[in-house]
Structure 1
Amino acid sequence: MTLQKTYICMGIILGLCLGISSNALATHIRAGDLTIRRLNNNSLTYRITVVLYRDITGVPAGDGLIDFGDGTDNELVSSRSLGRTEDQLTEILLYQVDHIFASAGTYKISYFEKNRNPTVRNIEAPSDTPFFIESEFLINPALGLNSSPILLIPPVLQARIGQKYTINAGAYDAEGDSLSYRLTICKQGRDVPVQNYRFPDDPNETWTKEKEDCTQPGEFYIDPATGDLVWDAPNEVGEYNVAFFVDEWREGIRIGSVNRDMQIIVKDVLNLRPILTLPDDICIVAGETLTGTILAEDQIERICATGDRMPTLDLLTLTLINNIPFSTPSNAPNFTITGLQPPVGKEEGIFSWATTCNDIREQPYQFTFQVVDNPRPENPTENAKMQLGDMKTWSVRVVGPPPQNLTAIANESNNTISLNWDDYICGNVNSIEIYRKVGSFDLQMMCETGVPDYAGYEKVGSVEAGVTSFVDTTVEKGANYCYRIYATFALPEGGESMASNEACAFLPATLYMTNVSVTKTDETDGEIEVSWITPSDDTLPSPVTYKLFRAEGLFGKQNVQEISKTFTVAENSYVDKGLNTLRQRYHYWVEIYTGGTLLDSARIASQVSLGASSNLDEIRLEWEAHVPWSITSMDYPEHEVYRKEQGESDDLFTLIGTAQASQFGLQYVDKSTESNPLIFGQNYTYKVLTRGTYEYDPLPAPLENFSQELTTSLLDTIPPCPPILTLARTACESLVANEIDPKDDCIQNYSNNLTWEDATDAECENDIIAYYVYYSEQIAEEKADFNRIDTVLVRNYEHINLPSLAGSYAVTAVDESGNESALSNIESQDNECTYFELPTAFTPNEDGINDTLIPFRCPRFVKSVTFEVFNRWGESVFKTDSNINIEWDGRDKNGELVSPGTYYYNAEVIFYRLNPEDASESFTGWIQVIR
């Protein structure tokens, strides 16, 4: 059934006209949500479901109005009662309708009901405020057809003053899309928020003073990951409405949002809520069985007062709410109550789930448990009998098992490495991802999927499901290559497996670099010792010589220089001098020649580059090197960290610790302690000795190399002084003297020139490394009014390609630690000589001369022009708001030439001005059209 829209203007909604039927009068709505489900795989037919919760003291339910958001007629839908809540005070109503959408697109589907519950405290005039929910839904075949998440848990849990309130919507997405949660303001119409809406923790109200544990302030929030809605804790009796969205994501794109508007009923009762205790969130490998104990306990005494005797619970009911549809009935979790009741106020349940490959997905399963108490029936007051509960969510992620029996075999004849592995155990696998690094790494996987970035592997390939081999053709001789693989699973569920075992293979070479060690750190006289291993084969054609090459950076062969020395077979090391080892980084390689012909080249090896970042009480060191050997090997895992303090001689470096590179990567934290105090303002110089190996027995190990020396200090928290800024102002006379003829291009580019000086103050540091430039088109008085437009290293700046000169500027200074100064003085200038003038006649006769109406000269500092022409009877014949040069060709709105004569115009011109109140000017006049 469809209904043509009848528009009723409702003054109580501030003049908003809503398309509603006069018989849609169901009232006293407490809560509701709207979801969408696709009915089959290939059609655009969807089922819209609205579930409402009605206070039974209101008018019985009537028809509800659903807007499909696609321009088709709204539809009145009859309700079906699903019964009442356990307290018999709320009726649950179901509205459903099927709808065919014409095409792909984004649709906002909404439901309108006339009146809310009349006693809601955080909504002004609730009985006269409509109930409106609106869910957004994307139909996009490129992302796959989709159904919205469904909300499995009804919003019926009541709250008590002073007690933490937690509820969860139990959102479940059939396709396994990622879900997130966010609060929103309750609505009374499309894009119309409830008037004067306030959240329960509004600081101007007394509804939330302190938490359940008596700490302040209280809080109200929704967990963006689990969807737990928490109010800790209500302070005043009443009904409060809150709303939130469950956002659905696929491939990083938000494809839908389900809206729930719900009511929290707060009472002051003698009861205390029970408390649930769940296991920690967990990850489990598909094929394993998960078990866990869920414990529920009654509170013996009040949280914020002692000595008040509370009746114990006779019965505690623990229920699994989240009835997730699993792949097969035999695969569904099992939840068994152990039956500790009665008489103790305690109950527990045993959760068990035998997982399979079909349960693998990227997003965790969220099992939401609820406990509701049952106060003693003989309690003399009805108020004491109100049931209270607790709700918590247990997140369980199911990941794929690792691929098995990966092997790697080097093929020296063609410089490749062949990988093989067993067919993957799960049939729903999508692909096998292949990762590689030089040298082995002891990856300690704690249910972590894929290959983490910190392990240093890089992706080298991917094969389809069912393929069990791969040939790596991108390897080079002279390195030990180590591989791991893992499985991925198709979207929308997605998910990954854990990584396989590591498999390594070594490709022998003729030459091997072994050392690139910094022996002296200096800006002009630095030194690096380079070593290599030459082949022992004496059958190579004579003469055999070697050449050594150096390039800048850790890799890439930039600015290559050949060392001016020819090396013989007996020479295998060289000290490279006169380098900038303080600021620059270098890498090296050796080439072998026989009879002047290049025979082979060693793989490049870089120096160890040391970096540091500081905190208030620690200095974090990190280092890297691009070398053909492993510096994270389990065979030589310890790198040594040395330090000397300010003023000490070069030979007084002290070993302060070792870094376990094979476990924690190439890093070390020098933390200030009682036994190792680091003093603010004092410089510390560090260097690191790395140990590495080719993991190939014929080659020596360990290979030891020093980084450059690095001097740093604890985090500097003192910002520089604000600079002193000067803005070069542009005189109007210079602009008038350079007017542009309007027949030419009227695009005018202006520029503002800034210069500044560093301030000198004993309380400021002068370790400035850069300046931030801030700009606002209008008047600005503080930092929040500006936008940062650039970072410069010098004390001047030209702001170019501007449509006007108006603007405000400020600069700040930034030091080596990232401290930013306060704003400089603010310098501003306005467009003092704006200009816009029109002629009084033009000749649109298509002779190429004066055929269009354009301004005299180019409009100066004009942002926009709304220009309209009227004939002598006051009829509009032409209008434009898209061209500041107007360019009227003498034709009317229908494209017909207007008759010669006098016409009148009105021009509303917006100029670029510093003060927005000065920006608008009106121009009126007459124009003679001459033919």
Structure 2
Amino acid sequence: MKRYLLTVVFLFVFIPVLLATHQRAAEITYRHIEGLTYEFTITMYTRTSSPADDERNTMPIFWGDGSSEEIPRIDFYPLGNDISFNRYVGRHTYAGPGSFTITVEDPNRNNGVVNIPNSVNVPMFIDSYLVINPFLGYNNSVQLLNAPIDAGCVGQPFYHNPGAYDPDGDSLSYKLVVCKGAGGKDIPGYTFPKASDYFRIDSLTGEIQWVNPVLQGEYNVAFLTEEWRRGVMIGYVRRDMQITIVSCSHKPPVIITANDTCVVAGDSLRFKTTAFDPEGTDVTLTAFGGPFEQTVNPAAIYPDPAQGNDTVTTFFSWHTVCDHVRLKPYTVGFKAKDSGFPVSLASFKTVNIKVIAPKPQNLTATALGNGINLEWDTTGCKNATGYYIYRKNDSTAWQHGVCETGVPAYTGFKRIGQTDGFDKTTFRDDNGGSGLSQGIRYCYRITARFADGAESYASGQACASLKRDVPILTHVSNNRQDLTKGYAYVDWSKPVELDTVQYPGPYKYLLYRADNASNGTLKLIKTFAGLNDTIFLDKGTNLNTETAAVTYRVDLESETTGTIGSSQKATSLHL
């Protein structure tokens, strides 16, 4: 009788637990709606044959701010191979900026997971991280475009690429982590899957590489896809996924495609991708990634999918536009899947594509006074936020490479300024008001700049040297041996290349001085009529070059047309 009662208790307690187990994989993603409101999506992959699969019409989610909610399931359908797709969606508004860890814990993890001891009693825990920071801008999480539904063979490589796409163009990195259980704690006794060579994730592409599985069974692994903006980690998504390994001997397909490349916005990019199966079975070739997710001019492959026996080919095609310009390259992933038995094997290849804004055209440099005036045509992209100006002494033969944007430091150019606005295409270089130097050939290049830090290709080079059309200060000194007393002796040379047609006379010099008494501000102290009077003994200030310096500047004006230009500043000797 006691044995019968124990059997009944076992049936009532243990069997419902087994029937409830169904969780294979899951992740939480989010997108910004407006203000402090975000929409969250829980994506789960469950066992179709489990009775619990039909019952989870809502899922509890914790928002990371002390509140929680049951959100509804809005999608539910079978994917084949005893796997169902589930999608739960809900919105939440936060009270203010901060860092939030959004979590979901579900008790129905699958039974019999090889690398999780007593997995039937270990919940599945997933989380995502959200930073709301007005200085970094609003953030949308990565979207994982590839479902974790592929299986593998003992002794053959297994690959999985999540197909992470970041709508904001943030930098992504990937790392393996320990699967978590109750309360978000690492599962005691968890081990990474055993491999004959290695089990790892590519930190740049996100591809999981298991070379090679040694034991058949079901395994769970987890990894983080982290988002980085301006050197700050602003979010992550954790995927916990199950991998089924069976006994089989066929090899995964092989993919041959293009190398990483760049394209000018407005141009089209087209290349071929081929996949073949070493065993000659049927192959299906598909593609995924950011270019296919664009709302304007998305990319496509033809045919889609490419299917056939042994070898298949598809052509990637993308007509790019200025909206596609961004700092980070787009990733296009190709997935080839065979029709082997008892499971299909998959392989992946990625191609990085950088979309670059066209260079500004028709840059000119014209010397005027103590500076050089620059003008250029707008870039072809109206979403540019302005332009960077680069300068170098003397010319160079440098030309940018195919994927080289901006003006690298090794060229000798230095960034000296910027303009704000797509149509702001003029700039005066007068060395920040100090004036450029005579006898130097100044060369310039321009790039268009964008909100995320992207730059266009560099413009062609334009060079100019100052004309001798402004006065040049040649002498500023104390006229006595006693450095604590005396007057300032100031002289300058005449403008010998003055364009008297463009700037007709009469002319005058204006002498400015800055000293301790003026708090370093240049003030007009003397006006000279004509061009011949170029010497002045400044008795208005008692020089003391032991403790202070005095600075001068001479301006040239036409009484007909106005200011022509200024000399560089010159300062008395300060010991």
Question: What is the TM-score of this pair, normalised by structure 2?
Answer: 0.74
| Distance change >3 Å, CA 125–CA 318, structure 1 → 2 | same
Contact 1:339 1:347 in 2 (8 A): no
Distance in 1 between residues matched to 2:292 and 2:255, nearest whole Å: 24
- What's the CA shift for 1:247? 1.2
If asked which structure has higher relative contact order (CA below 8 Å, sep 6+), I would say 2
Matched, 1:273 2:273: no
Equivalent residue for 1:426, pick from 377, 381, 384: 381
Equivalent residue for 2:462, pick from 499, 503, 528: 503
**Structure 2 residue ranges without an equivalent (≥5):** 1-15, 473-492, 496-533, 538-575
| Distance change >3 Å, CA 596–CA 490, structure 1 → 2 | closer
- Give secondary structure in 2 for the equivalent of 1:470: strand
Superposed CA offset, 1:727-766 (max 9, x none): xxxxxxxxxxxxxxxxxxxxxxxxxxxxxxxxxxxxxxxx
Superposed, 1:791-870 pairs within 5 Å as: none
Match of 2:404 in 1: 448
Contact 1:28 1:54 in 2 (8 A): yes
**Structure 1 residue ranges without an equivalent (≥5):** 1-21, 201-206, 210-217, 301-311, 376-383, 512-534, 538-593, 598-931
Match of 1:208 in 2: 195
- What's the CA shift for 1:407? 1.1
Contact 2:153 2:249 in 1 (8 A): no
Contact 1:484 1:501 in 2 (8 A): yes
Contact 2:285 2:305 in 1 (8 A): no
Contact 1:84 1:91 in 2 (8 A): yes
Equivalent residue for 2:40, pick from 35, 48, 51: 48
Superposed, 1:237-386 pairs within 5 Å as: 237-300=216-279, 312-313=280-281, 315-322=282-289, 324=291, 326-328=293-295, 331-337=297-303, 342=308, 344-375=309-340, 384-386=341-343
- What's the CA shift for 1:64? 2.6
- What's the CA shift for 1:191? 4.3
* Stretch moving more, 351-360 or 191-200: 191-200
Contact 2:357 2:380 in 1 (8 A): no
- What's the CA shift for 1:272? 2.0
Superposed CA offset, 1:70-123 (max 9, x none): 112x22334355322232x11111122222222221111000100322122221
Match of 1:224 in 2: 203
- What's the CA shift for 1:339? 9.6
| Distance change >3 Å, CA 184–CA 339, structure 1 → 2 | closer
Distance in 2 between residues matched to 1:425 and 1:323, nearest whole Å: 23
Match of 2:562 in 1: none
Match of 1:187 in 2: 180
Distance in 2 between residues matched to 1:157 and 1:194, nearest whole Å: 24
- What's the CA shift for 1:177? 2.0
Letter in 1 for 2:284: T
Contact 1:429 1:489 in 2 (8 A): yes
Letter in 1 for 2:286: T
Match of 1:565 in 2: none
- What's the CA shift for 1:402? 0.8
Match of 2:444 in 1: 483
Letter in 2 for 1:318: L
Q: Which structure has the greater CA radius of gyration?
A: 1
Letter in 1 for 2:373: S
| Distance change >3 Å, CA 276–CA 325, structure 1 → 2 | closer
- Give secondary structure in 1 for the equivalent of 2:289: coil
- Give secondary structure in 2 for the equivalent of 1:60: helix
- What's the CA shift for 1:38? 2.1
* Stretch moving more, 386-395 or 479-488: 386-395
Contact 1:479 1:508 in 2 (8 A): no
Matched, 1:177 2:170: yes
Distance in 2 between residues matched to 1:596 and 1:37, nearest whole Å: 70
- Give secondary structure in 1 for the equivalent of 2:213: coil
Contact 2:406 2:455 in 1 (8 A): yes
- What's the CA shift for 1:145? 2.1
Superposed, 1:159-170 pairs within 5 Å as: 159-170=152-163
Superposed CA offset, 1:823-844 (max 9, x none): xxxxxxxxxxxxxxxxxxxxxx
Contact 1:338 1:347 in 2 (8 A): no
Superposition CA RMSD, Å? 2.9
Superposed CA offset, 1:406-460 (max 9, x none): 111122xx22111110122111001100011111122231221101111111111
Match of 2:503 in 1: none
Distance in 2 between residues matched to 1:502 and 1:176, nearest whole Å: 31
- Give secondary structure in 2 for the equivalent of 1:398: strand
Equivalent residue for 2:367, pick from 399, 407, 410: 410
Letter in 2 for 1:85: L
| Distance change >3 Å, CA 284–CA 140, structure 1 → 2 | same
Match of 2:525 in 1: none
Question: What is the TM-score of this pair, normalised by structure 1?
Answer: 0.46
How many equivalent pairs are there? Answer: 454
Contact 1:167 1:392 in 2 (8 A): no
| Distance change >3 Å, CA 385–CA 122, structure 1 → 2 | closer
Distance in 2 between residues matched to 1:276 and 1:368, nearest whole Å: 11
Superposed, 1:706-725 pairs within 5 Å as: none
- Give secondary structure in 2 for the equivalent of 1:143: coil
Superposed CA offset, 1:171-205 (max 9, x none): 222222222222211111444111122122xxxxx
Distance in 2 between residues matched to 1:462 and 1:229, nearest whole Å: 43
Distance in 1 between residues matched to 2:307 and 2:203, nearest whole Å: 35
Matched, 1:34 2:34: no
Letter in 2 for 1:440: S
- What's the CA shift for 1:470? 0.5
Superposed CA offset, 1:794-821 (max 9, x none): xxxxxxxxxxxxxxxxxxxxxxxxxxxx
Letter in 1 for 2:212: A
- What's the CA shift for 1:476? 1.5
| Distance change >3 Å, CA 231–CA 596, structure 1 → 2 | same
- Give secondary structure in 1 for the equivalent of 2:405: coil
Distance in 1 between residues matched to 2:293 and 2:178, nearest whole Å: 34
- What's the CA shift for 1:326? 5.0
Contact 1:228 1:392 in 2 (8 A): no
Distance in 1 between residues matched to 2:304 and 2:95, nearest whole Å: 53
Match of 1:741 in 2: none
Match of 1:439 in 2: 394
- Give secondary structure in 2 for the equivalent of 1:127: helix
Distance in 2 between residues matched to 1:174 and 1:369, nearest whole Å: 19
| Distance change >3 Å, CA 507–CA 189, structure 1 → 2 | farther
Distance in 2 between residues matched to 1:119 and 1:485, nearest whole Å: 62
| Distance change >3 Å, CA 297–CA 96, structure 1 → 2 | same
| Distance change >3 Å, CA 257–CA 328, structure 1 → 2 | closer
| Distance change >3 Å, CA 161–CA 123, structure 1 → 2 | same
Report percent identity of matched pairs: 37
